[in-house]
Amino acid sequence: MREVAVVGFTQSPSVRREPDRNEVEVLIPVIHALREQTGLSSADFDFICSGSSDYLAGQSFAFVSGLDAVGAWPPVCESHVEMDGAWALYEAWVKIQMGYADVALVYGFGKPSMGDLPLTMALQLDPYSVMPLWPDAISIAGLQARHCLESGSMSERDMAERAVRDRAHAKDNVNAQVKGDFTVDGILADPYLANPLRKHDCAPISDGASAVILAAGDRASELCDRPAWIRGIEHVCEPMDLGVRDLGRSRSTEIAAEKAGVRSDKVDVAELSAPFTHQEILVERALGLGDSTTINPSGGALAGNPIMAVGLSRIGECATRIWSGGADRTVAHATSGPCLQQNLVCVLEGS
């Protein structure tokens, strides 16, 4: 295996609505800032891979215009996934492993404010038996949360504690959308949004973009004083049918964590992109995280949720903590699909 590291990361602030800028105009300053951060130009990228969703933009092939932010002439070697940018990063990592690239640019962007996100997400469901019922994403997550509560594996208080923790952490994150000092009792006094989920159990809807640069071997060491080396990366998908899955645990995260080697050493920092508090608990357990790990120092997805970029940003947030020396070993998590259907786990190390 080639040694590959995250050597650059930039992100836009997560905001509820970008009123004027289109997706590309949100992305452009993010890519430009990344060029400045690393001193690289488009000619230095052997491979470019992006993650976005045409369903958010409401038009087909919307991702093509994203290349305006990169510059695509002379022709570039690029690819796109209709997934979170974390999966674009995985593709770029594979490309580097295969020897086709040494330096890769990865970005993700989304502007869900143009549509009704919980309903748009319904299109991910089984198109024959479930999707025609138009169950929105919050209601689907609510059913999963109800299952977790009824099985006795967690309480509403446990869930509220995650919201309090993440949004307190997010006070130090200039890019976070929801932050501040909340209390568990205060949250539990709020009305239900989709029983048993309260507003604070749900990640915000965010417009935003982020970008990462991967580099191999010596090239990574040239570009970064302390590269964040990818020592394990894996993604696993569960079946589409919600009825055949165990929704009370995240089996795919467990398998991905095992294959990525999460438990082979201590984890200083973990960044999770679970968009609901009960899912955050499921992911923490699946990764086997304990008290020695700082979870979501940036606030995670519950503080800022730029869909299609939020998972990639978790990898970036982990990398910045390696670069600064604040952490030696970190774990980033990204998810896709309803009720944590597909999960990606990435282990980053400083040495």
CA–CA dist 50, 109 (Å, integer): 8
CA–CA dist 322, 330 (Å, integer): 8
| 131 is a contact residue toward another protein (CB under 8 A) | yes
176 vs 307 by CB, closer to another protein: 307
| 116 is a contact residue toward another protein (CB under 8 A) | yes
**Of 231, 228, 232, 291, the residue nearest 257 (C-alpha):** 232
Among 9, 47, 55, 93, binds another protein (CB under 8 A): 55
Provide the mask over 271-310, with x wherever binding to another protein is found by CB under 8 A and - wherever it is not: ----------------------------------------
Cβ 342 to another protein, closest distance in Å? 22
Q: Tell me the window of 8-16, 116-124, 268-276, 288-296 that interacts with another protein (CB under 8 A).
A: 116-124
| 22 is a contact residue toward another protein (CB under 8 A) | yes
41 vs 292 by CB, closer to another protein: 41
Kindly report the number of other CB atoms within 10 A of residue 324's CB atom: 11
| 67 is a contact residue toward another protein (CB under 8 A) | yes
58 vs 239 by CB, closer to another protein: 58
2 vs 17 by CB, closer to another protein: 17
- 127 burial type by CB count under 10 A (0-12 exposed, 13-18 middle, 19+ buried): exposed
Among 77, 119, 189, 237, binds another protein (CB under 8 A): 119
Q: Tell me the window of 15-23, 138-146, 211-219, 256-264 that interacts with another protein (CB under 8 A).
A: 15-23
| 32 is a contact residue toward another protein (CB under 8 A) | yes
Task: Find all residues with CB under 8 Å of 159, minimum gap 6, and list them.
Answer: 145, 196, 201, 277, 278, 281
| 73 is a contact residue toward another protein (CB under 8 A) | yes
Residue 236 main-chain phi, psi, to 5 deg? -135, 140
# residues near another protein by CB under 8 A: 33
**Of 141, 87, 56, the residue nearest 256 (C-alpha):** 87
| 72 is a contact residue toward another protein (CB under 8 A) | yes
What amino acid is encoded at 46 in this protein? D
Among 2, 54, 77, 127, binds another protein (CB under 8 A): 127
**Of 224, 271, 215, 227, the residue nearest 92 (C-alpha):** 215
Q: Tell me the window of 21-29, 150-158, 162-170, 183-191 that interacts with another protein (CB under 8 A).
A: 21-29
Cβ 189 to another protein, closest distance in Å? 33
| 251 is a contact residue toward another protein (CB under 8 A) | no
H/E segment holding residue 27:
helix 23-38
Q: Are 147 and 248 in contact (CB under 8 A)?
A: yes
CA–CA dist 151, 64 (Å, integer): 45
Task: Find all residues with CB under 8 Å of 154, minimum gap 6, and list them.
Answer: 148, 278, 281
Among 58, 186, 239, 290, binds another protein (CB under 8 A): 58
Tell me how many degrees the CA angle 316-321-325 measures, rounded to the nearest 5.
145
CA–CA dist 55, 52 (Å, integer): 9
134 vs 192 by CB, closer to another protein: 134
Among 123, 157, 172, 264, binds another protein (CB under 8 A): 123
Paired strand residues for 48: 78, 105
| 20 is a contact residue toward another protein (CB under 8 A) | yes
Q: Tell me the window of 111-119, 161-169, 170-178, 210-218 that interacts with another protein (CB under 8 A).
A: 111-119
Strands of the sheet with 4-11, listed across from one edge: 78-81, 47-51, 103-110, 208-216, 4-11, 228-237, 342-349, 329-336, 269-271, 294-295
The residue ranges that bind another protein (CB under 8 A) are 18-22, 24-25, 28-29, 31-32, 42, 55, 58, 67-73, 111, 113-116, 119-120, 123, 127-128, 131-132
